[in-house]
Chains A and B, each alone.
Chain A
Amino acid sequence: MIKISLIAPNIVPNFIGYTILLILTLLISIACYSSELTESDIQEDLARSIDQSIMCPVCPSETIDESQVPIAKQMRDIVREKLALGETKEDILSYFSERYGDAILAKPPAKGFNIIVWIIPPVVIALGIILMLVVIRSMRNTVSEVGNETGDGRSIELEPYLEIVDTNIAKLKREFYDEFGVDRN
């Protein structure tokens, strides 16, 4: 599958490339790595993931995780108390939505009319994909009718050079048209 001859001369610079990638991987690892999380750290991270799903009732477009106003602080404390009592994320979210209405939830619950907000995006994307496939298909069909097939695929190694040729041809064409004022239609 891989031609050795093509790869051999590239080993030295590729080595530099590998080193760059390795350094970056290690950097990411260090950034996201944390040594032995304590029990309280894990609890706090869980609590924050709940905070991030609850909007602050008095400040526009901020969750109680972001907001610093006193009511957000009280609500964060309630989340932690309830977690300590062993309640799940769902229990806590429904506790808040019963008190403040669904507007308190950062993402609308997938029930009733609001289910549309979740259904429409995948449906539209699926329709888009189908449309694209149809377009590709119809564009290809017209080709085989005309029958201007050109040999086999261009190899990836030649691609940069062929691109230069293509742009030069296009440039020459444009200069020709500009000079002689030929209408390109």
Chain B
Amino acid sequence: MAELGNITLFMALAVSVYSGLGSVLGATRSSPLLVESSYKATYAISLLCIVSTACLVGSFVTNDFQVQYVANHSSRAMDVQYVWVAFYAGNEGSLLFIALALSILCTIAIYYRRIASEDIMPYVNFVLMLVMLFFLAVMAFLANPFDKFEFTPLDGQGINPLLTHPGMFIHPPVLMTGLISFSIPFAFGMGSMISGRTRDEWVDAGRTWGLVSWTLLGIGLLLGSWWAYTILGWGGYWAWDPVENAGFMPWIAMTAFIHSIMVQKRRGMFRMWNMALIIIAFAFAQFGMFINRGGPVPSVHSFGQSTLGWIFLLFMGCTVVISFAIFFLRYKSLKSEENLESAVSRESAFLLNNLMLLAVSFVTLWGVIFPLISELTTGEIITVGAPFYNQVNGPLFLGLIFLMGIAPYIPWRRSSFGVIRRALFYPSMLSVVSIVILFLFGIREIFALISFSLCLFVLGGILQEWFRGIISRHQLGENYLVAFVNLVLSNRPRYGGYIVHLAVVCLALGVAGSSFYDVQRDIALSPGESAAIRDYSLKYISNEVTDRVDRVETRAVVEVYRAEDFLGTYTTKRSYYPGFNMASTRAAIRSTLVEDLYIIPGELLENDGALFRVRINPLVMWMWIAGPILFLGVLIALWPHRLSRNT
């Protein structure tokens, strides 16, 4: 089976060369048949990748330990459902997964191409095939998942116990797909420049695919946080770890892109800027893959330790140099003839938004690479950790939230401060009132006050806008619900955008609440003993130790009270894997909209006593609520036009 996988891998490699060359030759020699054939070749690559993937998964299922990758990432004791996780648990398999995701995305992008982008499409296909070729070639020659041992080991080394969790079925694939999907909007931008059709041919496709990859990566990051919070059991969800940053930077750059591409879509402006932005976003995504694959910085994720990272760095370097070379060749034709009419306008608000978002990416990048710079120049090893990012990025985030409350109400082209003042009178009054209320409740932390009132400011603005729209439709005879639905359908990019903004407000609430007002205590209890933390009280009941094949599980039972009210019995779990010398903890979490009580089990003490780390994390649940809202908003903004015509 492994042979078949290897053969299809090399076939995919050959076909991608054909497809890339064919589409360019077909376009330059005006041979539509050749172009069509190279598109078909692209579809074929995804079939070949599917077969290759099936072969690797098949080797796992049949325990073919002669295949090195299988032997290194699974064992006979592994539950069969984790075969899928083991498939991308290592370097080689994850490359195959990325190739698979990219090939399917390419197929979708080419199959559903629009008439407007027909002329640039051969070049888009060419760029995509270059990316495809890179991954297939790396796999075929440097990190082949089908490499075999001379002999067949009796058993494999087993899967990393931290990965044996249902969350691992979703988080890594979504994140990897999100990162690689940046190739698609990038290819549309590059295709438009290479073909010389540098007007707005790529804008619709660029926006759609930009939003798709933004959502994939965003959901991937959020799932990662959720998994870290509910499973990893350290009580937090984000640590500014280099690998987290590596996923965060491209996402922020893409956030800038999906905003500024709207300016080109609506006004035909910012053509050069959008092109530069998509190149930057793609370069960040490549940087992310570089850090992820044995880059130079230590990380808790440290996935696929290998020297392959440097080839990814080279790939990134080449992409940046070549892309910007083409950019400067097309410099003249990229210039927009439309001009900014006023400094107070939606256009300039978008510029400011882009500036701040890029500043966040830059600060994050700077924090990731500065320890290297310091070590290379002074030989001194230093740490750039969470306090740095919070201190520098924090104010930028607040600025962005503030802008989010203003910019949607600044009209396109030109406006005046009077217009803005009138639109924002109620939201700003409300946020002042909220500051007073919050202050009276004893919230004195200045940044916390600012964060919360800004969140309410944005929310107030959005609600006011919706209610105004609903009321004016209601006066024309629609009932409130119909009015709301029609309002959203009347301009889906706009109202979908508002819904995404709502999700960002939820996210900001969760982050602000849990970073300013979290409480953490370490307590040691013997059975029957209680301890108080703020207004909660915990009573430790008992523990139970079970020996399993590969691990020792310790469960501890705790009763939780608040002001004499019994809130429930909670069980924490701690598993120790002697084979890996690793422990994984499953915290007991009592989640409410107001705050989470988070109980992390520690080691057992003498006489059946136990250590616990207890945390109170305010407002964290709002972060997880943000996920579905964000998804809904993007869905509304992206849903194809025809639907709204039918309704």
Contacts and interface: CB of A to CB of B under 8 A. Distances in A.
Contact of A65 (B355, B392, B520): B520
Contacts of A13: 467, 470-471
A28 B452 contact: yes
B343 interface: yes
A150 B381 CA distance: 59
Interface in B438-482: 438, 441-443, 448, 452, 456, 459-460, 463-464, 467-471, 475
Contacts of A163: 412, 491, 494
Interface string B260-284: 0000011000000000000000000
A117 B391 CA distance: 12
Task: Classify chain A: how many residues form its interface, as a range.
Answer: 35 or more
Contact of B374 (A113, A121, A139, A164): A113
A39 to B, nearest CB: 14
B559 interface: no
B47 interface: no
Interface stretch (B38-46, B148-156, B210-218, B234-242): B234-242
Given A140-B339, A143-B339, A9 B475 contact: yes
A10 B423 CA distance: 13
A33 B441 CA distance: 6
Interface in B381-427: 381-388, 391-392, 396, 409, 411-416, 419, 421-423, 425-426
Contacts of A73: 522
Task: Classify chain B: how many residues form its interface, as a range.
Answer: 35 or more
B348 A136 contact: yes
A114 B380 CA distance: 10
A55 B383 contact: yes
B437 interface: yes
Nearest to B445: A32
Interface string A20-36: 11001111111111110
Contacts of B383: 55, 102-108
B467 A106 contact: no
A7 to B, nearest CB: 9
A69 B408 CA distance: 48
Contacts of A66: 234-236, 239
Nearest to B457: A21
Contacts of A85: none
Contacts of B236: 66
B370 A21 contact: no
B380 A113 contact: yes
Q: Which of A16, A139, A140 lies at the interface centre, i.e. has the most chain B CB atoms within 10 A of its CB?
A: A139
Interface in A1-48: 1-2, 9-10, 12-14, 16-18, 20-21, 24-35, 41, 44-45, 48
23 contacts: A10-B464, A10-B467, A25-B456, A28-B438, A32-B516, A33-B441, A48-B520, A61-B239, A63-B385, A73-B522, A76-B522, A101-B380, A106-B387, A113-B378, A117-B367, A121-B359, A124-B362, A128-B358, A139-B340, A140-B339, A153-B415, A167-B491, A185-B197
Interface of A: 1-2, 9-10, 12-14, 16-18, 20-21, 24-35, 41, 44-45, 48, 52-53, 55, 60-63, 65-66, 68, 73, 76, 101-108, 112-114, 116-117, 120-121, 124-125, 128-129, 132, 135-136, 139-140, 142-143, 146, 149-150, 153-157, 159-160, 162-164, 166-167, 170, 174, 177-178, 184-185
